[in-house]
Amino acid sequence: MRVTLTLLLLLVTLQVCAQINLEKPFLNCNIHGSITLYDYQAKQWIFSNSNDSHTATLPASTFKIINTLIALETGVVADENEIVVWPGKTDTVKYAYRPDIYHDMSLKQAFKLSAGWVYVELAKKIGKNRYEEFLTKSNYGNADVSENNPDFWNFGKFAITPTNQIEVLVGVYEETLPFSKRSFKILKEIMKEEETDSYTLRAKTGWTRDGGKDTGWWVGYVEKADNVYFFATRLVKDRNSPNPDFGRCRKDITKSVLRQLKVIQ
Q: Is 61 one of the catalytic residues?
A: yes
Distances (CA, A) of 2 to 7, 8, 15: 9, 10, 20
- Distance between CA 201 and CA 221 in Å, rounded? 6
Distances (CA, A) of 7 to 45, 63, 147: 13, 34, 41
Alpha helices in 79-176 (DSSP H): 107-113, 116-126, 128-137, 162-174
By CB atoms closer than 10 A (0-12, 13-18, 19+), residue 67 is buried
Catalytic one among 34, 48, 53, 61? 61
The distance from CA 150 to its chain's CA centroid, rounded to whole angstroms, is 19
- Distance between CA 94 and CA 207 in Å, rounded? 12
Where in the sequence numbering do the catalytic residues fall?
61
